[in-house]
Amino acid sequence: MAVDNEGILLMQPTGRWTVCRSGQPPAEITSGKLFLLEVDGKLLPTRMEFRHFTGPMKGRELWGQPGEYISVDGYPLRNGVPAAVGI
């Protein structure tokens, strides 16, 4: 699927995910926002959520927040994966 606003997924120093396109500022994917993510060679819709860690932290914190951003559909979020926002 070709999408006009397609770029690559990159985690910013803040711990938030963005879609980066050449010549454009990074487009942040906020919690609750729908976006496309390449899974098995196809761009599939998913939603970003922040999952809070529970139980003993064992030293795991993300920029001062005890949790991480995830795809609600369980798709892996990795730097460099094709993605698109504004769908």
Residue 24 belongs to domain with CATH number: 2.40.10
Whether residue 1 is contained in a domain is answered as: no
**Domain ranges, residue 68:** 6-84
Number of separate domains in the chain = 1
Whether residue 68 is contained in a domain is answered as: yes
Instruction: Give the number of other CB atoms < 10 A from CB of residue 82.
Output: 18
Split at pLDDT 50, 70, 90, the class of 22 is: very high
**pLDDT value of position 62:** 47
Strand blocks (E) in 1-87: 6-11, 17-20, 27-28, 34-39, 42-52, 67-71, 82-84
Whether residue 54 is contained in a domain is answered as: yes
Q: What is the pTM of this model?
A: 0.80
Which 3 state secondary structure label does DSSP give 84? strand
